[in-house]
Amino acid sequence: MTTGESPSGARKGVVYLVGAGPGDPDLLTVKALRLLGSADIVLNDDLVPPAILALAGPRCLTVNVGKRCGTKKITQAEINQLMVEKAAQGFSVVRLKAGDPLVFGRAAEEMDALRAAGIPFEIVPGITTAFAAAAALECSLTDRRASSSIVFSSGHHASEAPEALKPNEPTRIVYMPGRDFTTLAAEWTASGLPPSFPCIAISRVAQPDQQITIATLGALSNTDPGPAPVLLLAGWVFQNVQVGTPEFDAILENLAEDRPAIES
């Protein structure tokens, strides 16, 4: 990593966008727990319960920066500024979000602010609430006999989205897409998606030998996704993703340092 992570925990001057999961401390990831115990500052969402905040280190400053409908305590711009300022001062900062930081968590806006300020950051996934709810119901979200797709949506719409993206095309995530995308590409094209529609194939997600291939729908049928298992992601949200940025390289290197190779 450009600012290699200490095995003992959070690095100084770095912001961690951490998923706290649905609220049960037992559902935190090991990495989230380690970062909570070693961070200088935790900026938490309002929905993160006290039982999880209690896992922060004894010298850690916790600040509630949560926003709920009708009871905004702080604006998003102020949260962005706080993250940038504290990291620039040399503190390790955990931005603790309910669920997963990349699902309806305004992570895109926060990453934009951190990139603009030159602040290194890392994303630590959490269990999104939908999956915890399915577990509580003992009900699979997919069943080959009934449903082969999932649509995640928010009641808060992107009212300021560019006109070119309205109505918003859903982000598509395809598990086990196989190695030949020809049929899938033809189906998506026939549905009206343009050749420029962003597509990303990720081989062996979160493994040390993870491989990421960025393409467009027009080139998808000629894309080699790499060894199985493969996850295919497609959507306008991916149009600015770039492999090879310092943040991206840092994440890949951190995965290689932290995790042993897993044979498939």
Annotated catalytic residues are 45, 67
Q: What's the rounded Cα separation, in Å, for the pair 194 and 76? A: 33
List Cβ<8 Å contacts ≥24 apart for 55-60: 55/25, 55/28, 60/36
What Cα–Cα distance (Å) separates residue 138 from each residue in 72, 131, 206? 35, 10, 26
- DSSP for 82-127, please give it: HHHHHHHTT--EEEEESB-TTSSS-HHHHHHHHHHHT--EEEE---
Token reading at 50: 């006290």
Whole-number Å distance between alpha carbons of 95 and 74: 14
Per-residue H/E/C for 138-203:
CCCCCECCCECCCCCCCCCCCCCCCHHHCCCCCCEEEECCCCCCHHHHHHHHHCCCCCCCEEEEEE
Closest CA to 231 of 178, 171, 153: 178
